[in-house]
Amino acid sequence: MRFRKSLSIVIATLASTLSGLSFSSHSANADSPSIVEAGTRAVQNDYVVWRPGNGVWYVSNSATGSVTTRQWGISGDIPVGGDYTGDGRSDFVVWRPSNGVWYVNDRITGAVVTRQWGTAGDVPVGGDYTGDSAFDFVVWRPSNGFWYVNNRISGGVTTQQWGTAGDVPVSADFTGDGRKDFVVWRPSNGVWYVNDSATGAVTTRQWGTAGDVPVGGDVTGDARADYTIWRPSNGVWYVVDTATGAVRNQQWGTAGDVPVSADFTGDGRNDFVVWRPGNGVWYVMDSATGAVTTRQWGTAGDVPVASFR
């Protein structure tokens, strides 16, 4: 997480120095994916950035092109979008390092939930770790390698020691049971350490090398996260199918881009997605068909939000 954290700091600094930059207007794409579920609810991710300078979330619906904005959070916060209310839609959520408070703003109703969980230096790791279909409040503490899980619905607490200082925690479900697992990727040896959150079963896999960026998510569509890293030096995505061990490499993106874990086509498979701070463009390659979609959304200093639907 050091990379992401330092990136966030850089982005925040950029944002404060570039305050006054206007937000670029949305340009609709005729070829935007339009898959919807039950006729109304999009299942693919939306284009979302959070702007540290003003705390505003900018959402461009990938199906309809409609725009939503909401002010939620302040400079210094870490955006952690996800479905914390269990209605199937991602909410506007920030975690504040200075006081450890999670601030949830329901995307649909605007209802607010706050909970203190974590402390400065922790890394927020969103996701449903308990299997109740709502995201839980979860932090990983680099200083002792502990995961602290606070059930969003019940308030029940679970802790698990997994990982060590220097590791990068990854929000991912490698076992396919709908519960995120305790997962860290170790830059020093490139090993993924997976601890099944339901059974405690351990799996390790060497994949990637120092300088790579681990990306959680299911690329193959079997509901199990795959070992996926993105290499800034050559822009290549390296994917190992967790179920079969099959390897796939895909060049997509370039140094300076931010890889984003997201499914923009709604087929249940994560796509190859990078957001480019220099021009604010999202570059999406459909992982199933290779079809390319681009959308300008956001500007330098923004933070792209992964897996927001």
Residues that bind Ca ion (CB under 5 A): 173, 175, 177, 179, 181, 218, 220, 222, 224, 226, 263, 265, 267, 269, 271
Nearer to Ca ion, 31 or 233 (CB): 31
CB of 196 to Ca ion, least distance (A): 6
CB of 260 to Ca ion, least distance (A): 12
Nearer to Ca ion, 12 or 305 (CB): 305
CB of 261 to Ca ion, least distance (A): 11
Q: Which residues pair with 7 in a beta bridge?
A: none
CB of 173 to Ca ion, least distance (A): 4
CB of 67 to Ca ion, least distance (A): 22
287 Cα distance to chain centroid: 17
Nearest to 295 by CA among 271, 264, 251, 269: 264
Nearer to Ca ion, 106 or 177 (CB): 177
Nearest to 6 by CA among 95, 72, 78, 99: 78
Contacts of 266 (CB under 8 A, 6+ apart): 33, 35, 36, 37, 42, 43, 44
Tell me how far apart the 2 most distant CA atoms of the chain are, in Å.
50
- From residue 181, how far is each of 72, 171, 225 by CA, in Å? 28, 7, 10
10: phi then psi, degrees, rounded to nearest 5:
-60, -45
303 touches 8 (CB < 8 A): yes
Nearer to Ca ion, 60 or 62 (CB): 62
Nearer to Ca ion, 105 or 175 (CB): 175
